Amino acid sequence: MEKEPNVTASIAAISTLMKLLELDKSETVQELDVNLQSAVEVITRGSIKVTGVSSGCALFMRFITFAKLDNISFAECKKVMLARGKVFLKKLTEARNKVAKITLPFIVDGANILTHSKSRVVLEAMKLAVATQKRFHVYVTESAPDNSGQEMYKCLTELNIPCTLILDSAVGYIMEKVDMVMVGAECVVESGGIINKIGSCTMAICAKEFKKPFYVLTESYKFSRMYPLNQRDLPDNFRYPSKNDKNLSNSHPIVDYTHPSFISLLFTDLGILMPSAVSDELIKLYL
């Protein structure tokens, strides 16, 4: 990830699992399973983006272990798992571009777009829109506490996209000026809601009140078999970057949960979805 800034934590984690699968010396499927699961735990513990890493790894494990259903030797089984892993990884790397393409018709000339934090898939969609000669203005929140919005602002400026960096607290003030909100997601849950950078929920509620569409751009490998009902349902390892701090009440959460009722559409590599369609797509992914 240090060498390739455009690689997401999920893809980096899955690439790591693929490498382990190639080099593993296990002699049985059960032993290989244990080693892979142990690796998932280690990767999850060491990642700041736990939310996306967890969902990506779970889908990867589900996808490659289809091989175990076949009546073949372990050597053949491992070969099939590796082949399926490569197919899965290829689909993942193509997903961002697919999302950008289906979002393109919604970015119209003269549009004012509000975005939050830095999302690689939102950036890709805007990059494609600029390449097709579309003109629009982007408002970017600073996105405290890590100020990742400043990085997004810098990336947009380098693409010569007119943009304005605003305070997180200015979302309500600026909402009446924008035509739509576009954000990424660290995770999409079964209800069709999202877990994303802290402040996303506030932005979605504000957009709903101002009757502005709230669009989520995300890859399907971020779909997760979770069903939070509120902020308290989010696991602590998702909400807080440092698990060493025992007094979590003093920690600042890095993500929040946005209810599906505040989301207009989800733009994914599976197509444009209503939030209510996510559970059906999750069933297909895990079947």
CATH of the domain at 261: 3.40.50.10470
Distance between CA atoms of residues 28 and 43, nearest Å: 23
Residue 94 pLDDT > 70: yes
Q: What is the mean predicted confidence (pLDDT) over 216-232?
A: 91
Contact 102, 272 (CB under 8 A): yes
Q: Cα torsion at 121, 123, 124, 128 (round to 10°)?
A: 140
- Structurally, the chain folds into a number of domains equal to 2
In a domain, 245, yes or no: yes
Are both 48 and 126 inside the same structural domain? Answer: no
Q: What is the mean predicted confidence (pLDDT) over 34-43?
A: 86
What is the pLDDT, as a whole number, of residue 248? 59
Q: What is the mean predicted confidence (pLDDT) over 105-127?
A: 95
**Last residue within a domain, chosen from 94, 126, 142:** 94
Residues of the domain holding 78: 9-94
Q: What is the mean predicted confidence (pLDDT) over 88-99?
A: 89
CA 261 to each of CA 67, 202, 234, 265, 274: distance values in angstroms, whole numbers, following the listed order: 38, 13, 18, 10, 10
CA 40 to each of CA 14, 31, 58: distance values in angstroms, whole numbers, following the listed order: 9, 14, 9
Residue 138 pLDDT > 80: yes
Are both 139 and 249 inside the same structural domain? Answer: yes
Burial letters 136-174, b for 16+ CB under 10 A, else e: bbbbbbbbbebbbbebbbebbeeeebebebbebeebeeb
What is the pLDDT, as a whole number, of residue 61? 84
Report the share of the chain in percent with pLDDT over 90: 53
In a domain, 157, yes or no: yes
Distance between CA atoms of residues 35 and 25, nearest Å: 10
What is the chain's mean pLDDT, rounded?
Answer: 88
Are both 202 and 111 inside the same structural domain? Answer: yes
Q: What is the mean predicted confidence (pLDDT) over 187-206?
A: 95
**Last residue within a domain, chosen from 30, 61, 94:** 94
In a domain, 140, yes or no: yes
What is the pLDDT, as a whole number, of residue 174? 96
Distance between CA atoms of residues 69 and 77, nearest Å: 9
Q: Is residue 137 helix, strand or coil?
A: strand
Residue 259 pLDDT > 90: yes
Question: How far from chain centre, in Å, is Cα 212?
Answer: 22
What is the pLDDT, as a whole number, of residue 192? 95
**Last residue within a domain, chosen from 67, 94, 121:** 94
**Nearest partner of 277 among 203, 196, 188, 154, judged by Cα:** 188
Q: What is the mean predicted confidence (pLDDT) over 183-196?
A: 94
Model confidence band, residue 247 (pLDDT cutoffs 50, 70, 90):
low
Distance between CA atoms of residues 259 and 276, nearest Å: 11
Are both 88 and 228 inside the same structural domain? Answer: no
Are both 194 and 69 inside the same structural domain? Answer: no
In a domain, 1, yes or no: no
Show Cβ contacts of residue 152 under 8 Å, excluding neighbours closer than 6 positions.
115, 117, 118, 119, 122, 123, 140, 143
Distance between CA atoms of residues 59 and 13, nearest Å: 12
